Structure 1
Amino acid sequence: MIIRREDDYEIDTDPDRLDIDLIHHWLSTDAFWALGRSRETVEQSARASLNFGLYEANGTQIAYARVVTDLTTFAWLCDVYVDPAHRGTGLGTWLAAAVRDHLAPYKLKRVLLSTLDAHGVYAKVGFVPFLDPGKLMIMGSVQ
């Protein structure tokens, strides 16, 4: 699936187009939730997920989002990252909306995400705070 905007940005779900080295750099050095993540882990997680790359007109990747899903009942939106030079331009909201729209035909019971500081971005595309976070549990790292 490719979605293009009038300003020539595009979102593509083709996993072969992803710049794994760049995604690894972003996540392992600048994303608080993935600091130190190995390249192997980034590559393996991308292979096992539905991926969304956001690209400039010249093909340079400038953002990434990953969805872990069974495409039947559940999805987890994670590893959303926009290159710092492109933040504040609405691209993160567009990327989140593209994920939402791509998943809509599956009529999933729930799509979850976790965010520390981007609540406003996700609220624009329909995400709301979990009504009863006391029902959620985690195994493993709590970061």
Structure 2
Amino acid sequence: MATSTPVREWRKEVKGVEYLISTSIDLLDLDMINNAFESEEMYWAKRLDIDTLKLMLQHSTTLGVYEVPPAIPEPATVSEPSTPRTPSPSIVGPSPAAPKQIGLARFITDHVSTCYLTDVYISPSHRGLDLGKWLVASCGEVIDSMPALRRAFLVATPGKGMAFYGKELGFWDASEESGKIAVMTRRGFAL
């Protein structure tokens, strides 16, 4: 009973640059993700060997954030030749460069009742453009697309992180549900 979740995409232009958020696993840049995991901003993560990283991503819903390179314009023709030419099979036309991954957010979810949001990241060179807010809003759409959702979770930095996710996604501190739930954790590796 294998099912796959359809790919979702969001597009936005910021200061003349096109950005894409996509859940396509085929667009993910493993080196970019591992470099993000090594950064100080993602203190909770660490670089993974490629096979482990691929396994993790196959079992997650990851929203990759990409800078889309500008389209390559068709070459201008000066005049038509007197004898029609058949283009070479290897030359079909300009192929645009692949989008460059500059961020991500990852869900661990059954796509129905529970989801855990983690690894929200925008590369430092693309911060200050509200791409993080856009990414989190897209995450909100993913969460809202689960009508039988019982609970969505995330772990945030006290203060600023909690305030941000509270405002942008409507999350609250689990301690506010004192007596109903206890959020528990166990680390798998030393930070």
| TM range, smaller chain | 0.7 to 0.9
When normalised by structure 2's length, the TM-score is 0.67
Whether the aligned pair in 1 keeps the contact of 2:62 and 2:107 (CA below 8 Å) is yes
How many corresponding residue pairs? 143
Equivalent position SS for 2:53: helix
Q: Summarize deviations over 1:34-68 as a string: whole Å, max 9, x none.
A: 13444433222111101100111221111111100
Partner of 2:135: 95
Deviation at 1:137, TM superposition (A): 1.4
Partner of 2:162: 119
Q: Summarize deviations over 1:13-34 as a string: whole Å, max 9, x none.
A: 1000000111011113431001
Equivalent position SS for 2:119: strand
Deviation at 1:127, TM superposition (A): 2.0
Residue type matched to 2:59 in 1? A
> What do you get for the CA RMSD once the two structures are aligned?
2.1
- State, as a whole percentage, how many aligned pairs show the same letter: 30
Equivalent position SS for 1:5: strand
When normalised by structure 1's length, the TM-score is 0.87
Gaps of 5+ in 1: none
- After TM superposition, the structure 1 stretch with the greater mean CA deviation from structure 2, 108-117 or 34-43, is 34-43
1:36 and 1:3, CA in 2 relative to 1: closer, same or farther beyond 3 A?
closer
Q: In structure 2, what is the Cα distance between the partners aligned to 1:14 and 1:5?
A: 17
Whether the aligned pair in 2 keeps the contact of 1:93 and 1:122 (CA below 8 Å) is no
Q: Which has the larger radius of gyration?
A: 2
Query: What are the equivalent positions in structure 2 for 1:1-143 lying under 5 Å apart?
Result: 1-7=8-14, 8-30=18-40, 31-58=42-69, 59-107=99-147, 108-116=149-157, 118-123=161-166, 124-130=168-174, 131-132=176-177, 135-141=182-188
Whether the aligned pair in 2 keeps the contact of 1:52 and 1:66 (CA below 8 Å) is yes
